[in-house]
């Protein structure tokens, strides 16, 4: 009656030994702390080469565990299922497994994952099942109070994106985190994300230096917050210019003016401001202090750098308004010439061919007719229709046709992401800039996240570079692999085994790039598979991209993202991006972690008593 089930389980158990033999050298190379996890990872990879769905249904039919939760200890779970079948057949189950051995194996796997997670990510807050990582905004360098507020709300880790700012500002952010650690009395590890090879659009030429002071309107059109101008004195370093006081509504437009004109201002003064659209606007001074002057108006104003403004027949020119970044309007059917020329381009006239640079020449060289090219997180999709003749003087270039774009068009600007699904290009994961950032991180941070790892060689380079950096700094620094490409997903067992040569490792699931690379529908499965594979390896996971994004940006969560945040609890850490309401997002995610920890352990649902159904 059970022979079909026993033979299938015996076959799967028999596959484990050959899999271990093939990977024996890889397992021996890992750090001792990962040795058992590496063996279990190899077993799990062997298991997942089988399609188990029908077997799981039939095991459930006879009351045997359908291998849910087997990731903690793969062989022990298989043997426990085999022992249960033996008992049903009237045989001695102890030939295959016993309860104590199975429980010890599962507990050991669970404990190893918890130990590795705490070493890399710090301890979770009491009563929580996971941690909250928060991306620090650039303003955190100037505002230690902002960092302290995030820590008080529940930030467990701070993330610094090395693609932005510079070492001086990173140091200021780090000082703020260390001060917040002391204030809240717990460790807050710092993760520094290396920028990685930038597959992005080239620069679009800057436009005129014009800034906008904007009112805030209610849905009916009435003004609920005025437009604001913040005046500071000219002649000081812009980096050290005083910041405007906190206000509601849209941020003030910051300008610099003659110090004598500024010193003469008093509350109630009316300032005449010519609008770049040949209109005139009036702003009334509402506050004056040593830092600057704040003025408010009830109409939007476009102000050009160098504009002559007037107050009681005293005139001065406004300075410090930067050039406006221009963008290109893209429509379905447009042609794009993608080149390796990184000189700034001017937006073309409507209907003309768009010219764009690509930051990685190897990608342009590798593209062929029919390849898909996606821009700006996949919102613009194009197809290669022509390539340059090899050896031509203007090569390399490719001509694209836009095949999908939002109705009415979409803006595309400088430094926007480019994805080429399925294209494998031999470019190193660590750039020279990354190596400099890594050395900085080894002296100041607790873990380093490596972007766009694709191959085993990429991970080996990262492990070796980190080992060299920490040997100089004398500090222990963890390594986080960002899985964000189809190639990395396919190579995940290899990447993990290579990374396990380092003692503190983790994986970040970058759902944004994965969705673009593999299709948005893949997000229903791929992150879950990565999490399960890492659980088998006893390697902690950080889930990233758009978690509670609406809440962080607008202060109001969508129902779908609350459910998404609940599912994210299966990872050891969840990353939030910056936003004006990120503190509220931290509190919400922390509460979800507290609640979900009582009813879910990784992929295993826990059935607590439901009071409502008494």
DSSP track, 56-78: HHHHHHTT---STTGGG-HHHHH
13-52 as b/e, with b when 16 or more CB fall inside 10 Å? beebeebeeebeebbeebeebbebbbbbbbbbbbbeeeeb
Residue 106 has a pLDDT of 93
- For 427, residues 6+ apart whose C-beta sits below 8 A from its C-beta are 197, 360, 362
- For 199, residues 6+ apart whose C-beta sits below 8 A from its C-beta are 358, 359, 360, 363, 417, 418, 419, 420, 452
Helix (H) or strand (E) holding 584: helix 582-596
Residue 200: phi and psi, rounded to 5, are -140, 165
Please report, for residues 193, 433, 445, 448, 461, the alpha-carbon distance to residue 465 in angstroms, rounded to integers and kept in the order given: 15, 13, 15, 11, 6
CA–CA dist 137, 320 (Å, integer): 22
CA–CA dist 131, 120 (Å, integer): 11
CA–CA dist 96, 306 (Å, integer): 83
Residue 590 has a pLDDT of 85
Task: Compute the C-alpha angle 18/20/24, nearest 5°.
Answer: 125
Residue 320 has a pLDDT of 93
- 209, 203 Cβ separation under 8 angstroms: no
* Residue 6 DSSP SS3: helix
CA–CA dist 265, 309 (Å, integer): 13
Nearest CA to 325 out of 424, 433, 412 is that of 412
pLDDT tens-digit series, residues 124-176? 988 787 899 999 999 899 899 999 999 999 999 999 999 899 999 999 999 99
CA–CA dist 478, 544 (Å, integer): 18
- 137, 172 Cβ separation under 8 angstroms: no
Instruction: Give the DSSP letter of residue 484.
Output: -
The string of DSSP letters for 273-317 reads EEETTTEEEEEEEEEE-SS-EEEEESS-EEEETT-EEEETTEEEE
pLDDT tens-digit series, residues 453-510? 999 999 999 999 999 999 999 999 999 999 998 999 999 999 999 999 999 999 999 9
Chain-centroid distance of CA 535 in Å reads: 20
Sites in the chain below the pLDDT cut of 70: none
Q: What token pair was written down for 155?
A: 């930030």
* Residue 505 DSSP SS3: strand
Residue 235 has a pLDDT of 84
Task: Tell me the pLDDT of the chain averaged across its residues.
Answer: 92
Residue 391: phi and psi, rounded to 5, are 90, -5
* pTM given for the model: 0.84
Q: What token pair was written down for 205?
A: 């030429």
- For 552, residues 6+ apart whose C-beta sits below 8 A from its C-beta are 576, 577, 578, 579, 580, 581, 582, 584, 585
Edge-to-edge strand ranges of the sheet holding 397-404: 354-357, 335-339, 397-404, 380-387, 372-375, 418-419
Query: How do 372-375 and 380-387 pair as beta strands?
Result: antiparallel
Residue 177: phi and psi, rounded to 5, are -65, -45
The owner of tokens 């692999």 is 481
Nearest CA to 403 out of 444, 446, 372 is that of 372
Chain-centroid distance of CA 78 in Å reads: 36
Instruction: Give the DSSP letter of residue 321.
Output: P
Chain-centroid distance of CA 476 in Å reads: 23
Chain-centroid distance of CA 210 in Å reads: 32
Q: How many residues comprise the chain?
A: 614
Q: Which structural domains are found in the chain, ordered by start? A: 3-119 (no CATH), 210-317 (2.40.33), 328-419 (2.40.33.10)
Chain-centroid distance of CA 339 in Å reads: 28
CA–CA dist 149, 103 (Å, integer): 42
- 431, 196 Cβ separation under 8 angstroms: yes
């Amino acid at each position: 009656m059970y022979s079909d089930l026993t033979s299938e389980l015996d076959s799967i158990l028999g596959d484990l030994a050959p899999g271990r033999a093939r990977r024996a050298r890889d397992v021996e190379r890992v750090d001792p702390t990962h040795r058992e996890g590496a063996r279990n990872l190899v077993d799990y990879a062997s298991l997942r080469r089988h399609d188990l769905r029908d077997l799981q249904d039939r095991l459930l039919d006879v009351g045997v565990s359908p291998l849910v939760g087997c990731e903690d200890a793969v062989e022990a779970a298989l043997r426990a299922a085999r022992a249960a079948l033996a008992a049903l057949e009237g045989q001695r189950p102890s030939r295959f497994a016993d309860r104590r051995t199975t429980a010890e194996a599962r507990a050991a796997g669970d404990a190893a994952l918890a130990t590795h997670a705490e070493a890399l990510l710090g301890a979770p807050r009491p009563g929580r099942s996971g941690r909250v990582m928060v991306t620090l905004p650039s303003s955190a360098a100037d505002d230690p109070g902002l960092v302290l507020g995030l820590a008080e709300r529940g930030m467990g880790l701070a993330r610094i994106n090395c693609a932005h700012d510079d070492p001086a500002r990173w140091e200021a952010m780090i000082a703020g985190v260390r001060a917040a650690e002391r204030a809240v009395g717990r460790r807050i590890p710092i993760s520094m994300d290396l920028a990685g090879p930038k597959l992005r659009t080239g620069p679009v030429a800057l436009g005129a230096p014009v800034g906008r002071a904007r009112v805030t309107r209610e849905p009916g059109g009435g003004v609920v917050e005025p437009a604001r101008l913040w005046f500071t004195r000219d002649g000081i370093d812009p980096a050290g210019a005083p910041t405007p006081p906190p206000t509601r509504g849209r941020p003030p437009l910051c300008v610099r003016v003659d110090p004598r004109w500024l010193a003469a201002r008093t509350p109630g003064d009316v300032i005449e401001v010519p609008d770049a659209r040949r209109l005139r606007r009036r702003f009334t001074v509402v506050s004056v202090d040593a830092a600057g002057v704040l003025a408010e108006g009830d109409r939007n104003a476009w102000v050009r750098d160098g504009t002559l403004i007037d107050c009681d027949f005293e005139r001065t020119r406004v300075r410090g308004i930067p050039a406006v970044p221009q963008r290109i309007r893209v429509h379905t059917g447009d042609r794009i010439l993608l080149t390796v020329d990184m000189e700034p381009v001017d937006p073309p006239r409507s209907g003309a061919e768009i010219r764009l640079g690509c930051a990685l020449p190897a990608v342009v060289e590798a593209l062929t007719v029919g390849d898909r090219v996606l821009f700006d997180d996949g919102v613009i999709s194009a197809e290669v229709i022509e390539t340059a003749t090899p050896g031509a003087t203007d090569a390399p270039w490719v001509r694209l046709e836009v095949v999908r774009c939002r109705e009415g068009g979409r803006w595309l600007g400088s430094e926007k992401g480019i994805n080429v699904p399925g294209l494998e290009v031999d470019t190193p994961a660590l750039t020279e800039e990354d190596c400099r950032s890594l050395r900085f991180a080894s002296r100041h941070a607790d873990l380093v996240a490596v972007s766009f790892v694709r191959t085993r060689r990429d991970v080996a380079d990262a492990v070796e570079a980190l080992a060299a950096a920490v040997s100089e700094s004398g500090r222990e620094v963890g390594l986080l692999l960002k899985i964000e490409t189809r190639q990395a997903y396919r190579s995940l067992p290899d990447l993990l085994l290579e990374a396990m040569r380092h003692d503190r490792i983790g994986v970040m699931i970058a759902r944004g790039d994965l969705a673009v690379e593999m299709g948005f529908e893949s997000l229903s499965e791929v992150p879950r598979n990565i999490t399960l594979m890492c659980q088998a390896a006893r390697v902690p996971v950080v889930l990233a991209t758009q978690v509670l994004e609406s809440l962080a940006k607008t202060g109001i969560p969508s129902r779908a993202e609350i459910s998404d945040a609940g599912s994210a609890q299966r990872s050891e850490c969840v990353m939030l991006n910056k936003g004006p309401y990120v503190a509220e997002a931290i509190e919400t995610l922390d509460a979800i972690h507290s609640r979900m920890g009582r009813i879910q352990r990784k992929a295993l649902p826990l059935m607590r008593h439901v009071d409502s159904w008494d």
